[in-house]
């Protein structure tokens, strides 16, 4: 948990009071050390009570969102709804895997749909010619995807990010060309394949039960994809890659401490590609065939729009983006091409105006706020405080900054009050009642820190006094400031006053 700032708004997090008599027991997932909800104890400075704070709200949101997604189509039980949400689940699964490649592995690969298509076409072809049942198709898709992933990841070792992006962008188009021109696959029906073994037997297809089963299978696919994402991204591979993800220097550094990020990257890429191949096979079994649509550039761009709108590199972004885009394109079919234009405009807007889609907005707004505050503070400190803003970032305690600013202002004001009249007033009567300004100046002097504070030292009562400076350390005697000896206590007091005035003026 980060340190709470002493001044300012407390960040809001759901919290509830706890019974301090009882010991709080943390629930954990079976067999792991992960806690179910990340709760932490905290102390509320307003109510002066202990409370339990939910530090991570994400799992709760995920749970609610996924439950809604599962229940909504079944509750509505509309054929169109089933179709819509089924497609959303499948596309979301693809996008989650793509996020794994782009975000976790840091490879800007556009070969996603090519991999999906290879899985779909391979499995569909085998199913049609040899009558392979659908569970076996998934496994075939898995292997085809892994093979494809291995082949595509070969050049990634040598190529820079954008070079790689370009290379893989061409891949879909080449796959499409191959399918159209090959006799076995593309000869009939313009590249489309029909008659694949379906997940739900065809006699059930038209019934309610069949539709529910079909939808649940798609939903399960999304769940599996999310689980794979969590397992890879949150696990050792993700950690290794996060240590070396962002730039060349990090890569060099992580190789220097023994992380083989190339291998980790290849692994993640292959896992994701295998999953993509399996998703392709699932898709073929889901709709009972495949078409060349898989390889079209426009579909690839739509998928990219989904990821970009939701937020690149995050699973929740991929899912939300998919829901938005697929919702627009599948629900408002009567709009014709305009709906794709709308999606394109949304994607453009999110690239132009947000840092990272919908889920980057929060951080973006926070940063804008912080920058504004920092500029404001930089303006303040340069006017009032005695330190530079370049040096200020190491002062985390805002009270310290405020305190220093106050000190500075106070000194500025007192300095203006020191006039020969005031000094004369003090010379005439060092002790007793003074004018308001002198009183305030003296109060300021009195509250100064002990080290190097001036004091009067009595050598001999009523005849000789000296000005000394306290050491501030117990046991260490004060040092004598100068060799002047004052005949009376009042004169000594005034000498101390003059010295302090001098110090104030030069500060």
Partner 1 sequence: MAILELAGVSAGYGPVRVLHDVNLSVNPGERLGLVGLNGHGKTTLLSAIVGLTGWQDGSIIFEGRQIGGRRTHGMGRTTPNIVRQGIALAPQGDAIFPGLTVRENLDSGAYTRATWRSRRSRCDHVLDVFAPLRPLLRQTAGTLSGGERRMVSVGRALMADARLYLVDEPSLGLAPKISLGLVAALCEINIGDGAMIIAEQNLPLLNGRVDRVLGMHAGELKQDVGEALGDIPPAAEAMAQGMHHGRAL
Partner 2 sequence: MDVVFSALLLASMYGLVAIGISFTWASIGMLNLAQGFIFTAGGYTAFLFAEIASTYGLEGVALSVGLIVAGMLGSAVAGLAVGAVAFLPLQDRDNFRTRSLIATLAISLIGTQVWLIFFGPQNKPLPPIFGTGRTEIAGSGIGNGQLGAIVVAVLMLGAVILWMRSSRAGLQMRAMMMNPLGAAVVGVSVRTTGMRVLAISGALTGLASVLLAQTFFVSPTSGVQPLTVGLIISLAGGLGSIPGTVAAAGLLGLAEALTARYLQQSLVPFVLFGIVVLILIFRPRGLGGLLEDVRE
Residues that bind partner 2 (CB under 8 A): 108, 154-155, 158-160, 162-163, 165-167, 169-171, 173-174, 177-178, 181-182, 297-298, 301-302, 304-305, 308, 336-338, 340-341, 343-345, 347-348, 351-352, 355
Q: Give the torsion through C-alpha atoms of 121, 125, 127, 129, to 10 deg.
A: 180
Nearer to partner 2, 290 or 356 (CB): 356
Nearer to partner 1, 378 or 422 (CB): 378
Distance, first Cα to last Cα, the chain: 40
Q: Which does 239 bind (CB under 5 to 8 A by kind): partner 2, partner 1, none?
A: none
Please, are residues 311 and 261 in contact by the beta-carbon 8 Å criterion?
no
Q: Provide CB contacts within 8 A for 85, sequence distance 6+.
A: 69, 72, 73, 215, 218, 219
Q: Which does 169 bind (CB under 5 to 8 A by kind): partner 1, partner 2, none?
A: partner 2
To the nearest whole angstrom, how small is the minimum distance from the Cβ of residue 438 to partner 1?
A: 34
Nearer to partner 1, 374 or 450 (CB): 374
Q: What is the largest CA-CA distance in the chain?
A: 122
Nearer to partner 2, 336 or 432 (CB): 336
Q: Which does 374 bind (CB under 5 to 8 A by kind): partner 2, partner 1, none?
A: partner 1
Nearer to partner 2, 37 or 341 (CB): 341
Q: Which does 302 bind (CB under 5 to 8 A by kind): partner 1, partner 2, none?
A: partner 2
C-alpha Rg value of the chain to the nearest Å: 36
Judged by the rule CB under 8 A, the positions of this chain that interact with partner 1 are: 370-371, 374-375, 378-379, 382, 388-390
Please, are residues 312 and 304 in contact by the beta-carbon 8 Å criterion?
no
Q: Which does 458 bind (CB under 5 to 8 A by kind): partner 1, partner 2, none?
A: none
To the nearest whole angstrom, how small is the minimum distance from the Cβ of residue 311 to partner 2?
A: 12
To the nearest whole angstrom, how small is the minimum distance from the Cβ of residue 369 to partner 1?
A: 12
Q: Which does 247 bind (CB under 5 to 8 A by kind): partner 1, partner 2, none?
A: none
To the nearest whole angstrom, how small is the minimum distance from the Cβ of residue 309 to partner 2?
A: 10
To the nearest whole angstrom, how small is the minimum distance from the Cβ of residue 411 to partner 2?
A: 41
Helices (H), 77-133: 79-99, 112-130
Nearer to partner 2, 78 or 182 (CB): 182
Please, are residues 326 and 299 in contact by the beta-carbon 8 Å criterion?
no
Provide the edge-to-edge strand list for the sheet that holds 15-17: 15-17, 49-54, 39-44
User: Treating both helix axes as pointing N-terminal to C-terminal, what angle do 436-446 and 420-428 enclose, rounded to 10 degrees?
Assistant: 80
Nearer to partner 1, 232 or 385 (CB): 385
Q: Provide CB contacts within 8 A for 94, sequence distance 6+.
A: 112, 113, 116, 225, 276, 279, 303
Nearer to partner 1, 383 or 505 (CB): 383
Q: Which does 158 bind (CB under 5 to 8 A by kind): partner 1, partner 2, none?
A: partner 2
How many helices (DSSP H) and strands (DSSP E) are in the chain? 18, 8
Report d(CA 293, CA 307) in Å as an integer: 19
Q: Provide CB contacts within 8 A for 28, sequence distance 6+.
A: 34, 35, 36
To the nearest whole angstrom, how small is the minimum distance from the Cβ of residue 163 to partner 2?
A: 6
Q: Which does 305 bind (CB under 5 to 8 A by kind): partner 2, partner 1, none?
A: partner 2
Report d(CA 53, CA 35) in Å as an integer: 14
To the nearest whole angstrom, how small is the minimum distance from the Cβ of residue 83 to partner 1?
A: 47
To the nearest whole angstrom, how small is the minimum distance from the Cβ of residue 253 to partner 1?
A: 24
Nearer to partner 1, 379 or 451 (CB): 379
To the nearest whole angstrom, how small is the minimum distance from the Cβ of residue 240 to partner 2?
A: 23
Of 283, 278, 285, 303, nearest to 145 by C-alpha is: 278
Distances (CA, A) of 44 to 2, 5, 47: 15, 13, 6
């Amino acid at each position: 948990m980060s340190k709470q700032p002493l001044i300012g708004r407390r960040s809001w997090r759901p919290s509830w009071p706890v019974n301090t008599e009882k010991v709080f027991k943390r629930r954990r997932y079976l067999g792991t050390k992960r806690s179910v909800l990340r709760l932490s104890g905290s102390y509320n400075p307003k109510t002066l009570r202990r409370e339990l704070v939910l530090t991570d709200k994400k799992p709760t949101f995920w749970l609610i969102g996924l439950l809604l997604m599962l229940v909504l189509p079944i509750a509505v039980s509309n054929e169109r709804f089933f179709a819509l949400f089924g497609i959303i689940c499948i596309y979301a699964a693809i996008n989650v895997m793509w996020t794994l490649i782009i975000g976790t592995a840091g490879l800007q690969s556009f070969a996603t749909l090519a991999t999906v298509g290879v899985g779909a076409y391979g499995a569909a072809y085998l199913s049609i010619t040899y009558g392979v049942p659908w569970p076996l198709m998934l496994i075939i898709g898995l292997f085809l995807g892994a093979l494809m992933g291995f082949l595509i990841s070969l050049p990634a070792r040598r190529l820079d990010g954008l070079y790689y992006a370009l290379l893989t962008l061409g891949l879909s188009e080449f796959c499409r060309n191959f399918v159209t021109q090959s006799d076995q696959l593309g000869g009939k029906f313009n590249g489309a394949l029909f008659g694949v073994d379906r997940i739900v037997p065809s006699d059930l297809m038209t019934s309610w039960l069949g539709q529910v089963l079909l939808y649940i299978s798609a939903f399960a696919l999304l769940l599996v994809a999310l689980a794979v994402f969590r397992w890879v991204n949150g696990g050792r591979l993700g950690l290794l890659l996060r240590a070396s993800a962002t730039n060349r220097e990090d890569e060099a550094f992580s190789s220097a401490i023994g992380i083989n990020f190339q291998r980790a990257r290849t692994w993640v890429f292959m896992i994701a590609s295998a999953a993509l191949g399996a998703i392709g096979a699932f898709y073929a079994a889901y709709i009972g065939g495949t078409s060349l649509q898989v390889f079209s550039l426009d579909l690839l761009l739509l998928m990219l729009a989904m990821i970009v709108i939701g937020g690149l590199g995050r699973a929740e972004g991929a899912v939300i983006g998919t829901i938005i885009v697929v919702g627009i394109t599948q629900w408002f079919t009567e709009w014709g091409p305009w709906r794709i234009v709308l999606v394109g405009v949304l994607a453009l807007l999110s690239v132009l105006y947000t840092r990272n889609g919908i889920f980057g907005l929060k951080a973006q707004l926070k940063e804008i706020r912080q920058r504004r505050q920092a500029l404001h503070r930089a303006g303040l400190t340069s006017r009032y405080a005695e330190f530079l803003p370049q040096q200020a970032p190491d002062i985390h305690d805002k009270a310290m900054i405020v305190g220093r600013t106050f000190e500075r202002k106070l000194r500025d004001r007192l300095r203006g009050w020191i006039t020969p009249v005031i000094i004369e007033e003090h010379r005439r009567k060092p002790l007793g009642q003074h004018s308001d300004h002198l009183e305030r100046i003296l109060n300021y002097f009195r509250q100064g820190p002990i080290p190097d504070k001036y004091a009067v030292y009595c050598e001999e009562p009523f005849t000789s006094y000296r000005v000394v400076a306290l050491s501030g350390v117990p046991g260490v005697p004060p040092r004598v400031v100068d060799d002047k000896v004052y005949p009376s206590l009042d004169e000594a007091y005034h000498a101390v006053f003059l010295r302090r005035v001098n110090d104030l003026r030069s500060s």
